[in-house]
Amino acid sequence: MKRKVLVIDGSQGEGGGQILRSSLSLAMCLGQPVKIKNIRAGRKKSGLLRQHLTCVRAAKEVCDAEVSGDELCSDYIEFTPGKIKHGDYRFAVGTAGSTSLVFQTILPALLLGKGMSNIELEGGTHNQQAPSFEFLTACFLKTLEILGVKANTELQRYGFYPNGGGQWTAQVHPRISGQRLKLLERGEPVARSATTFTAKIPQHVSQRELKQVVRKLKWKEQDLREILVDSFSPGNIISLKLEFTNCVEIFEAVAQRNIRAETIAGTAINALKRYRNSSAVVGEYLADQLLLPMALFSGGSFITHEMSQHVATNIAVINQFIDSAIQTSEIESDTYKIEVQGLNLNSDGIKTEVQKSDLIV
């Protein structure tokens, strides 16, 4: 018997691409046909851009889905998933669009494969409004290890706006089992670092960013690193990392044309200060990214310091697929406890096939 198609309104909440990506991930893992309408209606340029189209077509390849509406600028898609297929995949965004977001879209499904999957990605690796490669690996994937997520990554080339061209690979192992994720206390401070990654721009930019870290945070020289990287486009990002016994958080800012290095650094510094001065364990961006894998896998709970519209929208979408999967409660001013009831899906419960694919959008 065919399952009833679930209709998701892409204009709800913040009306961005996360509604599309979360819906695709959930549809693949749950075998749920879905129609997504009004895609990215809350954005100035609505509909599918190349990055979003790559997510749709990557999801299609991974689960052999039947799809309609998968074309540039389309404001809807219909997505009927088939069997999840582990194997070798290559996905190229074709612009500087975020490869991290493409990876996060297909990761949950690949964890349900019967064997290991090898993924090659090409496009943007360090974008505004998206997790960088370092955030993805050292923060997101590191945190997910307790849920039974194992993925090995390697970066070959950085990809900055506008040309992109970044390249990296990932090996995703099938999920067998895991524990509930419980992040209610940070624990003791373990380490801190401020790192700039810079390609084809004057060195004084990264130096000024790091001087601002010393000035505003009173960090020491031993906490600072400048790294020159290979990229087709000029670019720069500053990454501030805090490690505790129970968690890792990263705060970033990507350089922008005609904006002073001190201002860019200040964006990351201010985000770190907001987190440090709160009782949160999980920052705003990581909170948003943890919700879906927690709901599909072992579940758990965490404390975060901001309930952004982005987070609230993602919770609403997940709860449309999995009834009452996520509950929130405000435990003090602007501090929230999020509790997730996980389905504990794993590779033993999914019938899969082996697949090879090379997709360029």
Q: Determine if residue 285 is labeled as part of a ligand binding site.
A: yes
Strand partners, 181: 300
Q: Determine if residue 327 is labeled as part of a ligand binding site.
A: no
Q: Determine if residue 275 is labeled as part of a ligand binding site.
A: no
Q: Determine if residue 287 is labeled as part of a ligand binding site.
A: yes
d(CA 258, CA 238): 16
Catalytic residue, candidates 126, 173, 305, 310 = 310
Residues with Cβ within 8 Å of residue 55, at least 6 apart in sequence: 17, 20, 21, 24, 101, 102, 105, 106
282 CB burial (10 A radius; 0-12, 13-18, 19+): buried
d(CA 17, CA 2): 27
219 CB burial (10 A radius; 0-12, 13-18, 19+): middle
Query: Is 52 designated active site?
Result: no
Q: Determine if residue 128 is labeled as part of a ligand binding site.
A: no
Provide the 3-class DSSP secondary structure of residue 9.
strand
Q: Determine if residue 348 is labeled as part of a ligand binding site.
A: no
d(CA 264, CA 253): 6
C-alpha pair distances (Å), 296 with each of 137, 252, 356:
20, 28, 25
Q: Which residues are annotated as a binding site for ATP?
A: 104, 285-289
Q: Which residues are annotated as a binding site?
A: 104, 285-289
Query: Which residues are tagged catalytic?
Result: 310
